């Protein structure tokens, strides 16, 4: 498994053609399901290569495409959120309320339910082990502990309880960048996000296509950082753009065609991170799928999929990847349903809002 996927899941709906529908929710749900399906091949004993990884000769997997899609949508939506309310404190409060409550829930369930059910230790030994308790700190996003004492030690992908959580650190870091750019007054210049996307793309090209820096410390972390920063800042740039729809379609079609032609070349990833933000935002802006009335279960699916899959494999060690994706998919959706209705939507109701008087003054000033 080259990259575990995560997601950015926002309810802030941007202005423009997509305001009237929930196509972003539909895309997030599809991407979260792709993460679950792709991980099934890495987590099952008889895994093998998942379909996209096999099709591209090992160059690209479903999880990687999904995470890039999530970051493109994240850059677009959080930039729109900043534009609608340029307050660093309220911006970060909204981001925290979206990420942390459900994260705390899955960490708590992993510690109190999954751990005791699957650990190789006796329960008194499990609960007296300090590493069981330090796992709870993962609710703060940045702690890097992935395992619980004695848990999943005999699984094909051992020890890791929730391998999808690491990219939350990158996600939240990019939120801080958006808030900092806005606070410094740089976000009002459209070229800033374009420049950041271009610089990140150039960094990926240097790090992946040359061997000059391959031996440097944290090379892999740098690749992952810039790889996901490209669609994030590209999405942010598209949020500020006023491209004519025909030009938007034309650019997207050309980039997608170039990416398709490079499917078996070493340049696939470089072209994909350039084309995917355009394709994602195009679909999200002009799509007509409206799932908002049902709730947004995509974040819950992302959070719970990995530990649920590991638990299924623990009890059914010979399960096939497709079977794992189906069995774990049903259980994960149930967890996501409960997470949304019991935690997430209530946390979102606490998001700080811009005062109407301030909005009126801003609108008058812009007029």
Residue 57: its pLDDT value, please? Answer: 85
Domain ranges of the chain: 17-48+87-186+293-366
pTM: 0.88
Residue 12: its pLDDT value, please? Answer: 42
Counting Cβ atoms within 10 Å, is residue 141 exposed (0-12), middle (13-18) or buried (19+)? middle
| 292 and 25 Cβ atoms separated by less than 8 Å | yes
Residue 22: its pLDDT value, please? Answer: 58
Compute CA 295 distance to the chain's CA centroid, rounded to the nearest angstrom.
18
DSSP H helices, the chain, are 23-43, 51-55, 62-84, 88-109, 115-118, 123-128, 130-134, 167-183, 190-209, 219-240, 245-261, 268-286, 298-315, 321-339, 345-348, 356-366
Please state, in angstroms and rounded to a whole number, the distance separating the CA atoms of residues 158 and 150: 10
Please state, in angstroms and rounded to a whole number, the distance separating the CA atoms of residues 319 and 47: 9
- Count of other CB atoms within 10 angstroms of residue 98: 23
The backbone torsions φ and ψ at residue 160, rounded to the nearest 5 degrees and listed phi first, read -65, 125
Q: Digits of tens for pLDDT over the chain (367 positions)?
A: 444 443 333 344 444 444 434 589 889 999 999 999 999 999 998 777 889 988 888 888 999 999 999 999 999 999 999 999 999 999 999 999 999 999 999 999 999 999 999 999 999 999 999 999 999 999 999 999 999 999 999 999 999 999 999 889 999 999 999 999 999 999 889 899 999 999 999 999 998 877 666 677 778 889 999 999 999 999 999 999 988 889 999 999 999 999 999 998 989 999 999 999 999 999 998 877 777 778 899 999 999 999 999 999 999 999 999 999 999 999 999 999 999 999 999 999 999 987 654 454 444 444 4
Which residue's structure tokens are 């609960």? 127
Report how far apart the first and last C-alpha atoms of the chain are (Å, whole number). Answer: 52
Greatest pairwise CA separation for the chain in angstroms: 68
Residue 59: its pLDDT value, please? Answer: 85
245-to-24, 79, 147, 281 alpha-carbon distances in Å: 18, 20, 48, 12
Please state, in angstroms and rounded to a whole number, the distance separating the CA atoms of residues 67 and 5: 5
């Amino acid at each position: 498994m080259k990259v575990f996927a995560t997601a950015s899941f926002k309810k802030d709906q941007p202005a423009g053609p997509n305001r009237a529908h929930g196509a972003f929710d539909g895309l997030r749900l599809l991407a979260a399901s792709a993460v679950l399906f792709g991980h099934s091949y890495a987590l099952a004993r008889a895994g093998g290569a998942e379909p996209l990884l096999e099709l591209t000769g090992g160059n690209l997997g479903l999880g990687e495409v999904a995470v890039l899609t999530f970051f493109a949508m994240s850059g677009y939506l959080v930039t729109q959120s900043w534009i609608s309310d340029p307050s660093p404190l309220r911006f970060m409060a909204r981001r925290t309320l979206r990420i942390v409550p459900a994260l705390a829930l899955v960490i708590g369930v992993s510690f109190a339910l999954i751990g005791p059910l699957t650990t190789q230790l006796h329960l008194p030994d499990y609960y007296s082990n300090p590493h069981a308790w330090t796992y709870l700190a993962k609710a703060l996003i940045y702690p890097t502990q992935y395992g619980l004492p004695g848990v999943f030690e005999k699984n094909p992908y051992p020890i890791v309880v929730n391998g999808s959580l690491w990219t939350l650190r990158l996600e939240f870091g990019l939120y801080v960048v958006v808030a900092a750019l806005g606070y410094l007054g740089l976000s009002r210049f459209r070229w800033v996000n374009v420049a950041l996307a271009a610089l990140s793309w150039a960094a990926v090209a240097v790090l992946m296509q040359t061997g000059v820096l391959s031996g440097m410390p944290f090379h892999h972390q740098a690749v992952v950082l810039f790889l996901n920063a490209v669609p994030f800042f590209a999405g942010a740039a598209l949020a500020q753009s006023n491209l004519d729809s025909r030009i938007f379609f034309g650019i997207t079609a050309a980039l997608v065609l170039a990416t398709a032609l490079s499917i078996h070349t070493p340049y696939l990833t470089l072209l994909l991170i350039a084309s995917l933000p355009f394709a994602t935002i195009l679909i999200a802006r002009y799509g007509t799928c409206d799932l908002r009335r049902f709730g947004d279960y995509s974040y819950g699916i992302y959070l719970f999929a990995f530990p649920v899959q590991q638990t299924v494999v623990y009890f059914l060690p010979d399960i096939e990847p497709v079977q794992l994706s189906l069995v774990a998919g049903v259980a994960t959706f149930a967890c996501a349903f409960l997470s949304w209705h019991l935690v997430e939507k209530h946390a979102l109701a606490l998001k700080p809002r811009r005062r109407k008087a301030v909005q009126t003054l801003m609108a008058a000033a812009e007029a």
